[in-house]
């Protein structure tokens, strides 16, 4: 029997399903490798509606074509999903220019997801935080051995994840999701120790886990580590975690 404290913890934890888009289709990659692509559904709206019907309220939508091209490509998919569901959508992939930010918000995203640009062009991102409001962005931090990785994880920097987070918390960023590159798409479990360490350093951080979740126990472990939510992709598509299971956590 769950205690009232358990219920409170559960209520404050957000399950965020992921949809990755290539050529308008719902796909998943392994370790960010476009050569390791698997198509799960031709129609992302069908998938999004299944998430909504299960009681989920958020959606992490990634434009992989945009990430490759360096400019938003699949905004029509975003527009369709935002128009035909009630999901709170964060959208990322290819947001490099101010016009990309505007396209994303005009197409119905609640949040614009920024990753490599926050590392490579911090002045640009800082200007957007001022212009559009820090609460309109979800900051993504991809990590290899506690150092940031950028450009589709092809490039590892010397920037320590702790310095990066501290800098952007001071700039007003409110939500950060962190992906351990070595875990993503492998269904081998999340980087729970990393998240626990980040929460110890930044207790106020709204930290969303990403990558490696394979079973429901992984979700509980992330809750215990202090994460505010988790992005789940492949585990849902591979039926390791059912929408029925997730319904029980909402």
| Distance separating alpha carbons of residues 232 and 78, to the nearest angstrom | 19
Closest CA to 85 of 42, 41, 53, 111: 53
Instruction: Say how many CA atoms lie within 13 Å of 77 toward its Cβ.
Output: 31
Asked if residues 226 and 205 have their Cβ atoms less than 8 Å apart, the reply is no
Q: What are phi and psi of 23, to 5 degrees?
A: 50, 40
Q: Which helix (H) or strand (E) holds 106?
A: helix 98-106
| Distance separating alpha carbons of residues 21 and 193, to the nearest angstrom | 30
Task: Tell me, rounded to whole angstroms, the distance of Cα 134 from its chain centroid.
Answer: 17
Is 218 among the catalytic positions? no
Give the Å distances, CA to CA, from 80 to 86, 98, 106, 177: 11, 22, 12, 25
20, 90, 100, 218: the active-site residue? 20
63, 90, 100, 142: the active-site residue? 142
143: left (phi over 0), alpha (psi -120 to 50) or beta: beta
Tokens of 91: 């959208």
Q: What are phi and psi of 35, to 5 degrees?
A: -75, -20
Is 142 among the catalytic positions? yes
Tokens of 142: 């991809």
Asked if residues 126 and 169 have their Cβ atoms less than 8 Å apart, the reply is no
| Distance separating alpha carbons of residues 201 and 197, to the nearest angstrom | 6
| Active site residue ranges | 20, 142
């Amino acid at each position: 029997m769950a205690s009232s404290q358990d219920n409170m913890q559960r209520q404050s934890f957000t399950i965020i399903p992921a949809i990755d888009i290539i050529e308008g289709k719902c796909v998943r990659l392994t370790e960010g490798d476009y050569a390791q692509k698997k198509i799960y559904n031709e129609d992302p709206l069908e998938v999004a509606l299944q998430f909504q019907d299960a009681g989920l309220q958020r959606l992490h939508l990634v434009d992989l074509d945009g990430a490759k091209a360096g400019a938003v490509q699949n905004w029509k998919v975003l527009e369709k999903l935002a128009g035909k569901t009630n999901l709170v959508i964060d959208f990322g992939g290819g947001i490099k220019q101010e016009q990309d930010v505007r396209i994303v918000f005009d197409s119905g995203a609640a949040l614009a997801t920024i990753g490599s640009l926050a590392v490579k062009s911090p002045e640009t991102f800082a200007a957007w935080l001022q212009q559009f409001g820090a609460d309109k962005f979800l900051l993504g931090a991809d990590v290899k051995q506690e150092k940031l990785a950028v450009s589709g994880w092809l490039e590892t920097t010397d920037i320590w994840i702790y310095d990066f987070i501290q800098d952007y918390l001071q700039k007003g960023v409110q939500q950060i999701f962190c992906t351990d590159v070595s875990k993503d798409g492998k269904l081998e479990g999340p980087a729970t120790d990393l998240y626990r360490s980040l929460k110890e350093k930044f207790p106020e951080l709204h930290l969303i886990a990403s990558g490696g979740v394979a079973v429901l126990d992984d979700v509980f472990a992330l809750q215990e580590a202090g994460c505010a939510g988790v992005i789940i992709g492949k585990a849902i598509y591979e039926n390791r975690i059912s929408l029925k299971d997730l319904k029980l956590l909402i």
